[in-house]
Amino acid sequence: MPHSGPSTLHHAMQLLQITAAGGYRGAGIDDFMEATELSRPTVYRLLQGLKAQGFLRSGPVRGRYLLGYELLVLGAQAGNGSGLRDLARPRLLSLAQRLGDSFYLFARDGIHAVCLEVQNGEYPVGSFVRATGGRVPLGVGQASIALMAYLEPAERRTILQHGQAQLQARYRISAQDVETEIDFLHQHGYARGAEGSQLPEYGGLAVPILDHSGHPLGALSCSMLKSRMSEEHVAEVLQAMHEAARDMVREAHSLLYLE
């Protein structure tokens, strides 16, 4: 894009985020003008640059923009760090078909846990993330507990201190709740997620995907109706997820490593 620089990049990212927030309707000039302090010529210039790069495309309604397909290409690569997503996808599909619940692959992205893949079985349920690419703050949901449990204690404390206000206000989860669940994982080998959240009808289980040095590459997660969480079913799901995680690392031969 012309006139490139940090400020231009920041504004271009703003336009992409505004477009994404418009969902299937996309966004029009008025949406961009209302959400930014940019001039109309600047908005037009940035839109044309993003469209030329494939990051935006014209919508079916004249004057509206949708996210471009180039973002799908980049997203597929970003979500496949060292092949993790490729390794997980067939296993998640098999788990969902065999066990009936919803299964996810999560990885850490800074202070968030991001969903890289999801497969739903016969009994799909709600989740904090609605689709691939969804993210939650670390501390929310069983997958983020599995990801945090193997961080250095000092780093974990910093993350919890940074996010504790949001955890408490939005999810009704305290830093102590998270630490309690991390202790549970270390004792039992799987994560449950902190209670007090907004999904009272659903429960969850997660297991970490650890490389040979104990570094967390990601986490396999399962969401299910609490009415399905019998002792037998939970044991079956956990065994299957542990086996899937071990198989993924074994197949990768230690080549997987997510920053």
pLDDT at 216: 87
pLDDT at 8: 87
Name every residue whose Cβ is closer than 8 Å to that of residue 38 and which is 6 or more positions away in sequence.
11, 32, 46
pLDDT at 2: 46
Q: Residue 248 CB: number of other CB atoms within 10 A?
A: 21
CA distances to 3, 19, 113, 249 from 209, rounded to whole Å, are: 43, 34, 14, 7
Q: CB-hemisphere CA count at 13 Å for 229?
A: 13
Architecture of domain 7-73: Orthogonal Bundle (1.10)
Answer whether 192's CB lies under 8 Å from 81's CB: no
| Concatenated DSSP letters of 188-255 | HSSB---SSSS-TTEEEEEEEEE-TTS-EEEEEEEEEEGGG--HHHHHHHHHHHHHHHHHHHHHHTT-
pLDDT at 257: 46
* Bridge partners, residue 107, by sequence: 114
pLDDT at 223: 92
Rounded CA-CA distance 64/152 in Å is 47
Length of the chain: 259
CATH annotation of 80-257: 3.30.450.40
Rounded CA-CA distance 230/22 in Å is 41
Each residue's pLDDT, cut to its tens digit, for the chain (259 residues) gives: 444 456 888 899 999 999 988 888 889 999 999 999 999 999 999 999 999 988 899 888 888 999 887 776 666 555 555 578 889 999 999 999 999 999 999 998 889 998 989 999 999 886 677 678 788 999 999 999 999 999 989 999 999 999 999 999 888 899 999 999 999 999 999 999 886 555 667 889 999 999 888 888 899 999 999 999 999 999 999 999 999 999 998 887 544 444 4
CA 101 to chain centre: 18
Q: CB-hemisphere CA count at 13 Å for 208?
A: 23
Domain ranges of the chain: 7-73, 80-257
pTM comes to: 0.71
Sheet holding 27-28, edge to edge: 27-28, 64-67, 56-58
Rounded CA-CA distance 244/190 in Å is 14
pLDDT at 179: 94
pLDDT at 75: 63
DSSP class of residue 22 equals T
pLDDT at 5: 52
